[in-house]
Structure 1
Amino acid sequence: MKRYIVFILSFVLLYIVFQILSGWIVTALYTPDLSSINRHGSQEVVFGQTSIIPFFSTLFVATLAYLLSQKLFVSIKK
């Protein structure tokens, strides 16, 4: 159980770091299309909704990968 907790915690940490770095890179490389700006348009910024479902599905897949790798290594050792 200790290995699983260490695996999941390191996976979560790497997942968060990857999300932050990929967001930073995408933001840094973004160039807006200035030709489509409407001069009389609204200056309001609207962000999309966020969901925690992708994180939990990724965590579930990581758990399955861990269990499969443990089962595979046990069968290889025998």
Structure 2
Amino acid sequence: MKKYLIFIFCFVLLYIVFQILSGWLLTALYTPDISSISNIASQEVVSGQASIISFFATLLVATLAYFLSQKIFTTSKK
């Protein structure tokens, strides 16, 4: 049970860090569409689409959390 709790803690921590860093990067690299400025009367909100990349990113974070939790668990036994 201890291994599972360490894994969940590491996974949640890495996932939150990943979300914050990716949000920061996307915000920093955002360039507004200049052509939409002339059409100010339109109040349309466009949201992003889900992609397979987020799935693989989540798998990567889970894998990192697993190996990190294994390292923490094995070093605590010494």
Which TM-score bucket, shorter chain as reference?
Answer: 0.5 to 0.7
1:1-78 map, 5 Å: 1-27=4-30, 30=31, 50-51=51-52, 52-75=55-78
Q: 1: distance between equivalents of 2:65 and 2:6?
A: 13
> What's the RMSD between the two structures over aligned residues?
2.8
Identity of aligned residues (%): 4
Give the TM-score normalised by structure 1: 0.54
Gaps of 5+ in 1: 32-46
Gaps of 5+ in 2: 33-47
Give the TM-score normalised by structure 2: 0.54
Q: 2: distance between equivalents of 1:2 and 1:66?
A: 9
Larger Rg: 1
Q: Name the count of aligned residue pairs.
A: 59
Partner of 2:51: helix, strand, or coil? coil
Q: 4+ residue runs of structure 1 moved beyond 6 angstroms? A: none
Change (3 A) 1:16 1:66: same
Q: CA deviation at 1:24?
A: 0.6
Q: CA deviation at 1:60?
A: 0.8
